Amino acid sequence: MTHAIALTAVLIAAVSSPASAQVAAATTCDAAGIGSAKVVVEGPPASILDVSTGTTGAVSYCLVKVRIPEAINIWVGLPMGGAWNGRLQSVGGGGYAGNVAVPNAAIVGGYVGVTTDTGHAGGDGSFGMKAPGQPNTALQIDFAYRSEHLMAVVGRQLAQAFYGRAPEFSYWNGCSTGGRQGLMMAQRFPEDYNGIVAGAPAIHWDRFQAALIWAQVAMLRENGGPVPVPKLNRATESAVAACDAKDGVTDRVIEDPRQCTFDARTLICGADASGDTCLTEKEAAAINRIWEGPVIAGKRLWFRTERGAALGALGGPTPFPIAVAQPRYWVYFDPNWDWHTLGYDNYAAFFDRTVAEVGPIMATDSPDLTRFRERGGKLILWHGWSDQLIMPEGTIDYYERVVKALGGASAAQKTARLFMAPGVAHCGGGEGPAPQDLLGNLVKWVERGEAPETIPSSRALPGGGTRTRPLCKYPERAVWKGTGNTDEAVNFVCRAP
């Protein structure tokens, strides 16, 4: 998301290439060669704007820039010198996207890499409104799913034109908005990708986006304004300290925050205390409402920011930008809409209107992956438990609905698996070990039938060394065996709670 939801790092595994890969280019990287290729898409014709060469890492590539009306820009990086591994990788974006870049990591891994700006310039979300009171439905659709589908269409055609053969396997790799984009492809265009990595997916775009402003509403109504960030941090640190050892290991990580019920009122200042180390009664009430999540009149509208996640991202001195952009440009179509008008009395109406306006195009929450399963598609979902922006229980809720839709856990896990990462923040960072080699595990699942039972994770420790853990397929959790170094994955086993 803008300024905060970063594109996840693309981790390339040492997975063998398809048997017929490692082929040389069949044409030249210039206007007369690949630049003269015909790109066929539905609707208005596509145009090749530019062809150039470059080098990333030790891999030379041909970069083809394509434009599709109304304003979708797609860049395709084609490895040269026999470096192509026979696969395509579309790389997801962040926030409202609005920019396009060379898919360097994909190219270094030997993939035909594809990126897009999703059909507009700039990441403030204003493209969703054509004029006050009027949605820009065409650009909303381009952002929601048309541009991502065209990445697969254009990428395959240019690979065919450049190498004389199409990719044998196509993959989607993204986090946050990129995770939502990948799931949109599985739901709407299941023929586009053989495998999808969807991290911290921004699905439920209507509901979780409406929930992004909850922290500000809670602080305004309970405290009269923002709680200072040092105090928010103090509350998070105290919650972690209180719940850390519940999993049998003290490592500054809450294994499953749903088991943590730390109450911010325990931090209320005593008679002689003040400063950032304690809270006023109103500040404690505000933080508890943030941890409760958007509950109005006893009805839960959406999930909460978990204890252990940094509260300053959504609860800082000003709202997270997208929390205001969506109501202005996608719900009310009023650039002057003021979030201060929200309170407990009208928040539910605001939430419902957001779902009605945004959901039909952007929700990305259909659990029916039947068509994706029927063509052999594989999906790796993952989410950090300490995600400070996207509520991780939303991803769990989606996965559980997928399990039900596909006929139970055993059947569903032949197509989709979820891995929760304790202590990991949005798309990485935080105190917990972050997942490694997600794409490599996906490739082995798609091409060799080796379904991942665990995903390796690691984190460099401040004092030196590395902490490793297995990320277990949900609902299992990593449990220490009781002996051995707790910083080594080999001393943990996956068990159901």
Bridge-partner residues for 88, per DSSP? Answer: 112, 170
Contacts of 348 (CB under 8 A, 6+ apart): 296, 297, 299, 301
| Of 414, 433, 339, 343, residue with least CA distance to 374 | 414
Q: Is 176 in the active site?
A: yes
Where are the alpha helices (H) located in 298-346, listed in sequence order? 312-315, 321-326
Rounded to whole angstroms, what are the CA distances from 319 to 89, 307, 334, 394? 34, 19, 17, 21
Q: What is the DSSP pairing of strand 129-131 with strand 378-384?
A: unpaired
Contacts of 238 (CB under 8 A, 6+ apart): 262, 266, 267
Catalytic residue (one of 90, 147, 170, 176)? 176
| Of 486, 175, 215, 184, residue with least CA distance to 324 | 215
Structure tokens at 45: 């014709």
**Which region, left, alpha or beta, applies to residue 98 given φ > 0 means left and ψ of -120 to 50 means alpha?**
left
Q: Is 340 in the active site?
A: no
Bridge-partner residues for 173, per DSSP? Answer: 91, 197
Distance separating alpha carbons of residues 141 and 137, to the nearest angstrom: 6
Question: Residue 181 phi/psi, 5° resolution?
Answer: -60, -45
End-to-end CA distance of the chain: 33
DSSP 9-64: P-PPP-PPPPTT-----SS-SSTTTGGG-----SSSPPEEEEEEEEEETTEEEEEE
Catalytic residue (one of 192, 206, 251, 387)? 387
Structure tokens at 127: 């493209």
Rounded to whole angstroms, what are the CA distances from 226 to 138, 233, 280, 322, 356? 37, 13, 12, 18, 29
Compute the CA torsion angle 416, 421, 422, 425 (nearest 10 deg). Answer: -130
Contacts of 417 (CB under 8 A, 6+ apart): 379, 380, 381, 451, 452, 473, 474
Q: Is 387 in the active site?
A: yes
Distance separating alpha carbons of residues 74 and 118, to the nearest angstrom: 8
Active site residues: 176, 387, 426
